[in-house]
Amino acid sequence: MSDHPTRRDALSRVARGTVLLGFGGTSVFLIDKADGQVVWQVDASRCVNSRLGDVGAPVCALCTTECVVQQSAVRAVNNFRECGRCYICPAYYNIKSAVDENGLPSEKLCPRDAIERKPIGLVDPEDPANNFYEYIIDEVKCDGCGICVKGCKEPLGLGSIILKVRHDLCVDCNHCAISKACPKEALARQPVETALEPTLAAPATR
């Protein structure tokens, strides 16, 4: 028998190598996933509701409609470091609605009434514009529809409200249904360190 490998042997080795590599890659991915090193997260700089530009684009609600979790694992999150604490917040109010007797927009923006508006400190009874306001999202009500995110987007707002996958709600599918549907590839696996910013990592209250 000849010591020289035949073409069949060579092809067989290549095939085995490919399978092993693929298996190895999958194993590494599964180990990473098991260790919690990578998780699904929304990239705000890609999400059409929050990324700069696309001012006239309609609100995208795919995070609400595509998630396999009944009330979506995606929630709107207000990054208080960036929030302007505005008197008239375009994520809280429908700023195109008629002005009421107090000089404020007469309609709220959130269809689930999931944002609470609270003055910070003492209220100036003479002039309510003389206060800063805190906008707190009730994550029990929120379903991640993105309407407030779009309302807060630059240049209308400051872009402090963004969508985030809440990992106590996410079932961590191998191939996230939202990521398959998202036209901007805004749902991607991210390392835990970047996916869970400390100030935004508060778990949703069920």
Partner 1 sequence: MYKQTQVIGGKGEGAPRFSQTLRSITVDGSERLYAVGDSELKVFEADGTLRRRWPTSMPGHAVAVAEDGSVYVGESGQVEIFDRDGKLVSTWRDPERLGRITAIGFASGCVLVGDAADRAIRRYDLNGTFLNDIGRNNRMQGFRIPNGVIDFGVDADGIVHATNPGKHRIEHYTPDDQLLGHFGRFDGIDPAGFPGCCNPTNVAVAGRERIYVTEKAEPRAKVYDFQGNLIAVIATDVFDPNCKNMAIAVDRRGRVYVADTVRLEIIVFEGDAES
Given the rule CB under 8 A, which residues bind partner 1? 52-53, 55-56, 84-90, 95-99, 103-105, 124, 129-132, 154-158
Residue with Cβ nearer partner 1 (146 or 159):
159
Residue with Cβ nearer partner 1 (55 or 201):
55
Long-range residue pairs from 140-143, CB within 8 A, at least 24 positions apart, any chain? 140/204, 140/205, 140/206, 141/112, 141/113, 141/114, 142/75, 142/76, 142/112, 142/114, 143/64, 143/71, 143/72, 143/75, 143/112
Q: Which two tokens stand for residue 153?
A: 């987007």
> What is the nearest approach in angstroms of partner 1 to the Cβ of residue 149?
15
> What is the nearest approach in angstroms of partner 1 to the Cβ of residue 100?
11
> What is the nearest approach in angstroms of partner 1 to the Cβ of residue 95?
4
Residue with Cβ nearer partner 1 (91 or 195):
91
Residue with Cβ nearer partner 1 (23 or 132):
132
**Taking the mean position of all CA atoms in its chain, how far away is CA 81?**
17
Omega cis (within 30) before 155: yes
**Contact criterion met (CB below 8 Å) for 109 and 52:** no
> What is the nearest approach in angstroms of partner 1 to the Cβ of residue 90?
5
